[in-house]
Structure 1
Amino acid sequence: MILRTFGWSFAVTGIGMAAAYIFWGWQGFAAVAILSVLEISLSFDNAVVNAGILKRMSPFWQRIFLTIGILIAVFGMRLIFPVAIVAVTAGVGPVEAVELALDDPDQYEQMVTDAHPSIAAFGGMFLLMIFLNFIFAERHITWLGWLERPLARLGKIDSFSVGVALSALLVSAVVMAPHAHQHGGTHADKTSTVLLAGLAGILTHLVVAGLSGYFENRLEEEEERAEKAEEAARRAGGRPSALVVTGKAAFFLFLYLEVLDASFSFDGVIGAFAITNHIFWMALGLGIGAMYVRSLTIYLVREGTLDEYRYLEHGAHYAIGALAVMLLITIRWQLPEEVTGLVGVGLIAAAFWTSVRHNRRDRAREAEDRPVVTSGV
């Protein structure tokens, strides 16, 4: 089961890690490994969401998502998007950006380093919006209840998360941007750049969230029609079929999944810039991680274990929030790559361990409450 589900992921990992070591030595090998773990940790909740929706689709549309979808996710968002970010922020064409990375890595590094404040502001605000929308939402399951419950009450205020994000952007523009780190250890005033890039990050999140909400509403309408058709079949004495979404509903599901996947891809791509500016390391690491996310989605659908580890989604979003803060800090100060790469992994591990402990307590409580059956003589 494991080999059948994760076989392609294992193969891509072997090829990718071997290429990283051959071309860039142990430094490239370590960076690609950290980026792979980062992508998997940030996208675990993506796999959970995907699996929850994918199990309601017909086998045909499941194959479409797991084939065409993986091409869009790996080659589109994880390979092309990082090059596009560098090209836009550095003011060069995509082909020129790749050529510079191959032929003149020193100049390329200088261009990327000087463009880092805008990349960090855009990515930091995008990630911060995801974290704020999660932490300010009211939910039945809380990980750090003493913190999440009061914040959920604040989240009932209209546009509160946007206000907090704009406040964080203003602080970053005032404190970080006037002394933005540049190539060679110099500093420059990047206040206007940080403000514009940060606003673009917030706007991008609002657009992606709006599209996701649109597709979700269309999905709910299609599901209501399907439920009414099932109820009519029952009343007519027919045999209701399993609620598997096909046709137009499945197409909207596919579009919805692609928008969601794109939004989660932003997390990994933008978060990768907190680890390294090397586009080929990012492409390999994020591509390997994306393969595991797809395999994990299949595994969750087949095994039906979506709710077994209840705090993993919380840990992933806390990791997103930590990365957002670190990206904003790197506008002015450099942070060790080990710190930025391992903080998210540590939060995911803490959430996983807390979930395991909770499950053990639940099983122990059920065992205590189970009545003891005695047989008479």
Structure 2
Amino acid sequence: MNILSIILTILGLSLFEIISSIDNAIINAEVLSTMKQKARRWFLVWGLLIAVFLMRGLLPWAIVWAVSPQLGPVGSLLAAFSSDPKVHAAIEQSSPILLMFGGTFLIFLFFHWLFMEDKNFGLPGERFVRRQAVWFYAIVSVILAVIVWYALKSHPVIAFGAVLGSTAFFIIHGFRQNAELEEKKLLDKKSNLSDLSKILYLEVIDATFSIDGVIGAFAFTLSVPLILLGNG
């Protein structure tokens, strides 16, 4: 990779991470405001380390290693900067499934934001689109079917990458949706939920946001160091 590609990749990842982290920061602030000082301090130190930094640090490396086990743990981390032809061949072989995996996830994430997320309307047509939220699942299902249809003509593994991306999206957002429903209980001043319950909730919600960032990053690059820099 040349220096311009590296800079653009890091900038793109950073922008994606900033945008996707805004909701996460708001949720954290709301729940932390209902917790005692000791629990709040524990989460800000250890909770963020576990759910954010470890997740974003280990998950991209684990994914690359999983699809290219022949590289080994160290090779998976440094593959993008290796000059070994065998390493390049391994990355070239695994890149379609990873790129399709991350790309499909990112497409689903965009349409979820477009149709389902609460937002302040600023552009013409946004309010109309938001009222069509019922069509979200139909639209992404059709998109997935089209992607898989054309991917199968190229290689079944690429189609499998698209299915993995959609599966990851619905699993992660299923957990997040359930967590958001629980948030109302956590913010209730009369709630008897302990600070430990609130910490566990924040761990889950932060982990889902971190996974969003990691999986979406594979639509930008397969380089683990660049993902770490961009998501960091």
**What TM-score do you get using the length of structure 2 for normalisation?**
0.78
Letter in 2 for 1:269: V
Letter in 1 for 2:121: T
Q: Does 1:277 align with 2:222?
A: yes
Contact 2:103 2:219 in 1 (8 A): no
Change (3 A) 1:44 1:107: farther
Contact 1:31 1:276 in 2 (8 A): no
Contact 1:276 1:282 in 2 (8 A): yes
Which residue number corresponds to residue 213 of structure 1?
177
Q: Does 1:252 align with 2:197?
A: yes
SS in 2 for 1:43: helix
Letter in 2 for 1:58: K
Aligned 1:282-301 pairs, distance under 5 A: 282-287=227-232
Residue deviations 1:327-346 (CA, integer Å, cap 9, x gap): xxxxxxxxxxxxxxxxxxxx
> Percentage identity across aligned positions?
30
Q: Does 1:128 align with 2:91?
A: no
For structure 1, which runs of at least 5 residues remain unmatched after alignment?
A: 1-23, 179-188, 229-246, 288-377
Q: CA RMSD in A?
A: 3.2
Residue deviations 1:340-372 (CA, integer Å, cap 9, x gap): xxxxxxxxxxxxxxxxxxxxxxxxxxxxxxxxx
Aligned 1:80-159 pairs, distance under 5 A: 80-92=58-70, 93-98=72-77, 105-137=84-116, 139=118, 141-146=120-125, 148-155=126-133, 157=134
Q: Does 1:30 align with 2:7?
A: yes
Distance (whole Å) between structure 2 residues aligned to residue 67 and residue 257 of structure 1: 13
SS in 2 for 1:197: helix
Residue deviations 1:276-330 (CA, integer Å, cap 9, x gap): 322122223322xxxxxxxxxxxxxxxxxxxxxxxxxxxxxxxxxxxxxxxxxxx
Q: Does 1:166 align with 2:141?
A: yes
Letter in 2 for 1:123: G
Residue deviations 1:55-91 (CA, integer Å, cap 9, x gap): 3332222222221133224542222111111122224
Change (3 A) 1:162 1:95: farther
Distance (whole Å) between structure 2 residues aligned to residue 101 and residue 139 of structure 1: 38
Change (3 A) 1:167 1:46: same
The structure with higher relative contact order (CA 8 Å, sep 6+) is 2
Of 53, 56, 61, 2:39 maps to 61
Of 16, 28, 34, 1:50 maps to 28
Count of paired positions: 230
Offset at 1:251?
A: 2.5
Distance (whole Å) between structure 2 residues aligned to residue 216 and residue 199 of structure 1: 25
Distance (whole Å) between structure 2 residues aligned to residue 223 and residue 42 of structure 1: 22
Offset at 1:272?
A: 2.8
Contact 2:102 2:219 in 1 (8 A): no
Distance (whole Å) between structure 2 residues aligned to residue 128 and residue 37 of structure 1: 16
SS in 1 for 2:228: helix
Contact 1:100 1:107 in 2 (8 A): no
Of 161, 164, 176, 1:197 maps to 161
Aligned 1:8-19 pairs, distance under 5 A: none
Larger Rg: 1
Letter in 2 for 1:227: K
Contact 1:78 1:269 in 2 (8 A): yes
Distance (whole Å) between structure 2 residues aligned to residue 269 and residue 255 of structure 1: 21
Letter in 2 for 1:143: G
Distance (whole Å) between structure 2 residues aligned to residue 33 and residue 126 of structure 1: 19
SS in 1 for 2:162: helix
Offset at 1:29?
A: 6.8
